[in-house]
Structure formats: C-alpha cells, structure tokens
Structure 1
Amino acid sequence: METGSVTTPFGRRSMTLGMLASQVMAGEIKPDQSVDKWKLFRALCEAKPLLGIGDRALAVLNALLSFYPKNELAQGNGLIVFPSNIQLSLRTHGMAEQTVRRHLAALVEAGLLVRKDSPNGKRYVRRDRAGEVDEAFGFSLAPLLARAEEIEQLAAAVMAERLHVQRLRERITLCRRDIAKLIEAAVEEEIPGDWQGLYREFRDLIEGLPRSPTTAHLELLLDELTALRTDILNQLEIRVKSTKQCGNADYIERHIQNSNPESIIEVEPSFDTKQGAIAEQDNDRGAVTPEKGRGEAAHPSGQKKEEEQSRRPEVRNDGGGLKSFPLGLVLQACPEIFAYGPDGVIRNWRDLMAAAVIVRSMLGVSPSAYEEAANVMGPENAATVMACILERGGHINSAGGYLRGLTRRSEKGEFAIGPMLMALLRANAPAGRKVG
C-alpha cells in the first residue's frame, strides 16, 4: 500500500536519485520479512559512524519508532508513522521543532526513512469503515526493514573494530610497562648499554602518538614498541647468559662495583669542606680532562698516581649497599643541579660534589646530616641524593629531615636510588640535557 508507487516530496523540497533509490529498495521487501524494531535500533546506534548520522538524529528516529504500534517491523503491519512535529518534539525531550525537522531531513538523506507526503504536506491517516488504515501520509519505515541485514553487518563491523582498538591499547599498555620496567632494572643492575638513548627513543614513540589516534597509528606504535622491547630483552638475555657462564656470584658483584665508568677515586672523603677549599684541593690534585680518559688524573706517571691513591682514605663504592649510577644518568634526571656547578657546568663527579655542598647549604641541610649521609651511602650517592632532593624541592618540606630519613633507611637496606632517578627521568624526559 505505502510502497506501491513512487512519491515526490511536498513544497520546495526537490526529488533526488537517493530518495528514488530508497523507495525502489523499499518496494523490494519480501512479504514475510520482519525485524524487531528495538533490536534494529540498537544496531543503528552501533553503526552510526558508518551511516553518517549523529546521536540527535537517532533520538528523532527513536521517537518515530515509538509511534509504530508493533514491536516487529513488517509489511503486513503497515510501515508509515505520521506524528506531528509537536509530538516528536515532546518525545525527544523538548527538542526544538526546527531541530526535529533538520534531523528528519538527515534521516531521509541517509536512506533510513522515506517521505510519503500528502497533497498539502500534512501528516495524517485515512481509515475505512472497519477502522483499519486505508491510506497514511507521513514517514515510511520501509527502508529500515529493507536494510536491516546491511545495518546489522555494519554494526558488527563497528563492534569488531572497537574490540580491535581496545586490544591494541591493552597490548600497547603492556609493552610500555615492560619497556619502562626493563630499562629501570637494567639501570639498577648497572648493566652496560645505552639505556638513556633507549629511554629517549621510548618517550619519543609515546609522545609522537596523536591525541585521537586512528587504528593505523596504534598498529604502527605497537609494532615499534614491540621491536624496542625485543631489542632490550636481547641485551638483557645476553647479560643473563654471560652471568650464568661465569657462575661466581662474588666475582659478578665485584665486577659490577668496579665497572662504574665515572670513577670515584678522585672524590674527597670529607664533606665538611667549603666550596673554596674543594676548589683549592682540585688545583693541587689536578682536574680530570676528557682527553685523559675517564677517572684518570692528570699526573705525569702512573707510579705517582698509584702512590697518591694508596695515600687516600678508602671510599666505599656502594655505601650501605647502594649502587652508584653513571654521572650522565644522574645529570639527565636532575638537570637543576647544573646551575650550582663551577661556571654552571658539571664535568665530573668532583663538580657534582662541589654543587651538592652548595645545594646542602641553600636547602638548610646541616653539615652533620650531610656527612652522616656520605658515611652511610657513600660520597657519590650522597651527592646524587642531594641532586634528587633539589629536583623535588617543591614537594619536600624539610630537606634535612628528608635526608636523615633516607640515611636511616639506607642503613637498614630499605632505600634504593634507582627508582628515584627513574621517576625523575620520566618527569624530565622532554628536557634532557647533556653532560658538560
């Protein structure tokens, strides 16, 4: 009845080939075809990105479906609804009539509705003597019934895509966690490798992801993170295999302690010395230069170097069980300490020690608290901790009390510098600085 002929829109609205195609499709509905209107509506809500309709257009369609008397959309039940714009406005929770008309036009353009306009453009129904609908003018829901299978397939595709994106995000999260934890473990265990470079590469990948990434962006990021994780794992596995081949835990521990690329032999044991005194001792002892290699003092002969080292008090490399970290890693995690180095530059551990003394005085840390920390942690680690405290100065009320607390925890074996450095590395990653 309602699909027996092609109808054109009333008034100034023009006829389009899309409207004609919708009416032809509606005329091909099988007599026994039916679908649950609310199940179909839920599929429409899922498939809306592919159909080019918004949530407010769906609200108007929901109101139209509420005027259909049956739950099953079927040819035999009649497929035309004819509510006025006022009634539609009420069932869309007060949506303005102009907005209702705009979204009705969008539904027609999307091929989900067909207009069957009366001669005067009004929506009404004409009934026979028995009260049955003889002819109705309004909106035909026939395109929904005709496209039910297509809409369900589109909804299934959208849900599959959403699940795919969710799984991609889960795998990316796992990769991110693995990479961060593995790098942190490598730094704490002092395993040789360019861990700073790998961490910068990791942060560049994460920060390069757009705010609203597409599926292709997520897939590419996952591939790059997986490759980076594989690279890190390969380096760690090589280290584990070499450790197993050695088989001597004492030897391994000594090797790790002595493999620090920034030697602390030249560090002064006393921390009560003022900055001027340190500079004076540096002049007497000789500064470290890049041309002479790491940890090598500027002495004319190796014999003099060995004699001077034998006269110096023994300095613990990892006091209180703490492991020392490369100077470059400390400076990258704590760039604020640069401002307190000689001439604003920190070239070696001695410069960091001098800067730590200045920072100690500036933050109100007593000499006794700092000396105690140096005795327990080791002078190198004490300077590192002072650099970390300076970096987190805005979050610490009493620097002296905080340092004493860390010293007590270090005595009990409950404190590690590695997690503190890694947290600061993550915070300062975009603004990495170079040594010297």
Structure 2
Amino acid sequence: METDGITTPFGRRSMTLGMLASQALARTIAPEASVDKWKLYRWLCEAKPKLGISDRALSVLNALLSFHPKTELSGKDGLVVFPSNAQLSLRTHGMAETTLRRHLAALVAAGLLTRRDSPNGKRYVRRDGEGAVGEAFGFSLAPLLARAGEIEQTAAQVTAGRLLLRRLRERVTLVRRDIAKLIETGLEDGLAGDWMGYEAAYRRLVLSLPRVATVEILTPILAELEALRNDILNSLEQQVIFQNMAGNADQTERHKQNSKPDSTSDLEPRFEPKQGGDAEPGDQPPTPLDRMDDRISEGRRTSQKKPAPAEPHKPYPLGLVLQACPEIVAFGPGGAISGWRDLMTAAVVVRSMLAISPSAYEAACEVLGPENAATVIACILERAGHINSAGGYLRDLTRRAERGEFTLGPMLMALARANGTPAKCAG
C-alpha cells in the first residue's frame, strides 16, 4: 500500500477536507487487512442510497476495480489503478469522457476513491528492472479497503430496511383486503353497524397512502388500518354470537315441544287408517298432540321455503350515492343535485331516457322506497353500457328485493370503489 504522505490534486482542482480525511483514513490500513473486491462491490450496490452515489458512478467504480489484478484488496499490495479515460470508456460500455470525469469526481467526493496525481496529471506507473510496480499515479482504492466494515454494515441496514418495508406493504395489502371484505359482508347480510362510517374511514386511510412509501409513513397508517379492522370484527362477532345464542334458544324450545320423545324418526312415514277401512293391527290413531306437532312442523317448513318480503330499507347517505353514481348529477335541476328531491326528479328523467316503464319504476318504489328506487336508477345509468334491458333489469332487482335476496349496499360500494373520486356537487 501507499506509505508516502498526503497528495494534492493536479491543476485547478482544489484540495478539500474530505480528500484529506480519506487519505488519512487510508494510511491507517493494517498490512493484514483484506477483502474480496467483488463482495465489497455488492455491498456498495446495496448501500448506494445511504452513500449518496448513483448507479452510473458504481459502473465507473466497477470498471476501476476490474483494473486491479487481484481478486482481493489487501493492505500489502499497491491499491492504485491507472487506466486511461479511453480504457475506462471501453469498460463502461462507451461512456463519454465528460460523464466519466463527473462520476469520478462523485466517487472522490463520496470518500470511496482518492486521487494520486502525477506532476503532469497523467496516469502511469514506474516499474523496476524486474517489472514490479515501483510508483503508480492514478486512483487509489485504499479508502474502499479502509471503509469495508462500514460499507458492509450499511448494506446490511439497507437490506433489513427493504425487507421490513416489503413486509409492511404486504401487511397493509392484507388488512385492506380484510376491511373491504368485512364491510361488504356486513352490508350484504344487512347487519347493524356504522358501515358507511367504516367505509369513509377506510377510504381516508387508503387515500393517505403515498405512491412511494417508507417505513416511517407506512407504520402509523398500518396501525390505524388494523384498529379499524378490529372495530369491524368486534361489531360482526357480537352480532354473530347473539344470533347463535338466539338459534340455540330456538332449538331448545323446539325440543320442549316434542310430545313423543320415544317416537321414531320424523322422516319415517306415518301409518294412517284407510278411508272406509280398518286400521292395521297394532296401529293407533293420531292424537290431537300429534296433529299439533304436524301443523307446527309444516308451518316451519313453509316459512323456510318462502321468506317474507323485505321491508323498504333506510336510504344510504346522498353523498355516497353521488360518489358512486356521478353521471346522474347532470340530469338534476340546473345540472346539480342538492337533496333527495332533486335525485328523485333526475331519476324520473333518466327512467324515461332508459325506456323503463312507469309501472316498473312504481313497483321498485313500493318495494325499495322512493329514495332507494332513485338510487337504483342512478346505478343502472352508471352501468348502462353493460345492461341490455334497463326495465327488465329493474324488475328483476325488485323481485329479488321482494324475496329478501337483494340489498343496495354492495352495488353502491362497488361503484364507489370503481369511480374513486367524489362527485363535485352539493349534498
């Protein structure tokens, strides 16, 4: 390694305290110190964000390392490489000379190289009679060897940070999926809860996620998302537990109503006396309690097969409707919608435009309610290009709602997520 004193740069380049510190650090290298140069280069690539160097500068450094004849950088060897700019340009895939000079200066400023300029500024080497290197002028790789431990530690920190960021991104994705599915489940099953409030809080947190996130930004957002998911889970679990308890109580009541605990299975046929004939030997006529059990069982089977028509639901917030269905705003009075009356007026106009018969719209108003019927018209308008018959589609939704098989919430949530940006109107 170099043992002589501090060298200053050639020409108009000025000496800086950073250059002085790099040269002083290079003189502290122990003779037994060594490191694999390509392993060191991989550490430099990992630690690039912390060292403040570009990928193009690393390409130049890779070319300089290739001019060192040995695989290891050792304190016993001379660590000065002296390629010309033409040779460097060849090993950097034709990089321009001005670009080379800029990146070499960046490497020196980052403390990864030091200059050992000759009296005339040229890079060359003096050899002895046996061909061994006596004195070399060019770029010294000694700062790399001196900072090898620091560079390795920095690379490990960058790698750990990248892995942590990837895990945080994965966690945010999973929690977002959980929240969206849970809200959709609550709306589809018609469970009690502030689902619109949960959806608004979820949208606010999602919109706060930046395109280029860091660990510091994602950590608090993930904590808020997990807290929101826990609130939704608690709301759902309480209602599920309550329903299970009610179901268990109902099963207990049915068990108590059984007046024939020793009878055979209900699935077996009952032997009835033939009309105008005598009963089989050993058969007993049904008692009044048996007939009562039959009527109760038949009533339960009938109620399970024919669900009662659903009553009109409470309308969803007008702001959510306009966010999910912004197309209907243009059909409101004066091209704006400021209340439910304006939305229902716009729905009548859109109904005529979509060739929906008055009877189909009136049936929807009776089953869903006027506000929800107008909301359905707004949803149909949003997806008019995908619906062949708007009137038939509305009648089908009305029949499903009458059987309790359709709720408006999932349709609104899907359109709101598809549009993303709220409509610019009052309401």
Shift of 1:435: 10
Cα deviation digits, residues 339-393 of structure 1 (max 9, x gap)? 6678956548xx877754542320134568x479859x94557655433111223
Counterpart position of 1:279: none
Counterpart position of 1:289: none
Instruction: Specify the SS of the correspondent of 2:12.
Output: coil
Counterpart position of 1:202: 202
Counterpart position of 2:276: none
Q: Distance in 2 between matches of 1:244 and 1:177?
A: 26
Q: Which residue type is aligned with residue 26 of structure 2?
A: A
Q: Which residue type is aligned with residue 351 of structure 2?
A: R
Shift of 1:203: 0.8
Q: Which structure has the bigger radius of gyration?
A: 2
Counterpart position of 2:379: 388
Q: Distance in 2 between matches of 1:114 and 1:156?
A: 25
Q: Distance in 2 between matches of 1:54 and 1:117?
A: 24
Q: Distance in 2 between matches of 1:121 and 1:226?
A: 62
Going from structure 1 to structure 2, the CA distance change for 1:23 and 1:435 (only over 3 Å counts) comes to closer
Do the aligned partners of 2:33 and 2:75 also contact (CA within 8 Å) in 1?
Answer: yes
Q: Which residue type is aligned with residue 164 of structure 1?
A: L
Counterpart position of 1:211: 211
The reply on whether 1:161 has 2:149 as its aligned counterpart is no
Cα deviation digits, residues 115-157 of structure 1 (max 9, x gap)? 1111111000111111111111100101111111110100000
Q: Which residue type is aligned with residue 90 of structure 2?
A: L
Q: Distance in 2 between matches of 1:324 and 1:40?
A: 71
Q: Distance in 1 between matches of 2:192 and 2:400?
A: 25
Q: Distance in 2 between matches of 1:386 and 1:248?
A: 41
Counterpart position of 2:315: 327
Shift of 1:63: 0.9
Instruction: Specify the SS of the correspondent of 2:316.
Output: helix
Counterpart position of 2:31: 31
Q: Distance in 2 between matches of 1:402 and 1:108?
A: 75
The reply on whether 1:431 has 2:418 as its aligned counterpart is no
Instruction: Specify the SS of the correspondent of 2:30.
Output: coil
Counterpart position of 2:410: 419
Quote the RMSD (CA, aligned, Å): 3.5
Counterpart position of 1:398: 388
* Aligned counterparts, 1:194-273, within 5 A: 194-247=194-247
Going from structure 1 to structure 2, the CA distance change for 1:419 and 1:402 (only over 3 Å counts) comes to farther
Shift of 1:68: 1.1
Do the aligned partners of 2:387 and 2:393 also contact (CA within 8 Å) in 1?
Answer: no
Do the aligned partners of 2:6 and 2:23 also contact (CA within 8 Å) in 1?
Answer: yes
TM (norm. structure 2) is: 0.74
Going from structure 1 to structure 2, the CA distance change for 1:342 and 1:76 (only over 3 Å counts) comes to closer
Do the aligned partners of 2:60 and 2:92 also contact (CA within 8 Å) in 1?
Answer: yes
Q: Which residue type is aligned with residue 60 of structure 1?
A: V
Shift of 1:191: 1.7
* Aligned counterparts, 1:10-409, within 5 A: 10-247=10-247, 317-318=309-310, 325-329=313-317, 331-332=321-322, 333-334=324-325, 336-337=327-328, 347=340, 356-365=347-356, 370=360, 374=364, 378=367, 380=369, 384-393=375-384, 395-396=385-386, 398-400=388-390, 403=393
TM (norm. structure 1) is: 0.73
Do the aligned partners of 2:364 and 2:398 also contact (CA within 8 Å) in 1?
Answer: no
Going from structure 1 to structure 2, the CA distance change for 1:325 and 1:250 (only over 3 Å counts) comes to farther
Extract structure 1 runs of 4+ deviating beyond 6 A.
248-251, 351-354, 411-416, 432-436
Q: Distance in 2 between matches of 1:417 and 1:211?
A: 32
Going from structure 1 to structure 2, the CA distance change for 1:83 and 1:249 (only over 3 Å counts) comes to farther
Q: Which residue type is aligned with residue 211 of structure 1?
A: R
Going from structure 1 to structure 2, the CA distance change for 1:379 and 1:86 (only over 3 Å counts) comes to same
Shift of 1:113: 0.5
Cα deviation digits, residues 169-216 of structure 1 (max 9, x gap)? 111111111111111111112222221122111111111233333321
Instruction: Specify the SS of the correspondent of 1:328.
Output: coil
Instruction: Specify the SS of the correspondent of 1:239.
Output: helix
Q: Which residue type is aligned with residue 378 of structure 2?
A: A
Q: Distance in 1 between matches of 2:123 and 2:180?
A: 65
Q: Distance in 2 between matches of 1:359 and 1:249?
A: 49
Instruction: Specify the SS of the correspondent of 2:73.
Output: strand
Which shows bigger deviation, 197-206 or 151-160?
197-206
Counterpart position of 1:271: none
Going from structure 1 to structure 2, the CA distance change for 1:81 and 1:249 (only over 3 Å counts) comes to farther
Do the aligned partners of 2:176 and 2:225 also contact (CA within 8 Å) in 1?
Answer: yes
Q: Distance in 2 between matches of 1:409 and 1:158?
A: 60
Cα deviation digits, residues 21-48 of structure 1 (max 9, x gap)? 2112111212122111111111101101
Instruction: Specify the SS of the correspondent of 2:134.
Output: strand
Do the aligned partners of 1:34 and 1:74 also contact (CA within 8 Å) in 2?
Answer: yes
Uncovered stretches (5+) of structure 2, i.e. residues with no partner: 252-307
Cα deviation digits, residues 64-97 of structure 1 (max 9, x gap)? 1111111111133321100011211221112111
Do the aligned partners of 1:331 and 1:435 also contact (CA within 8 Å) in 2?
Answer: no
Instruction: Specify the SS of the correspondent of 2:22.
Output: helix
Going from structure 1 to structure 2, the CA distance change for 1:26 and 1:413 (only over 3 Å counts) comes to same
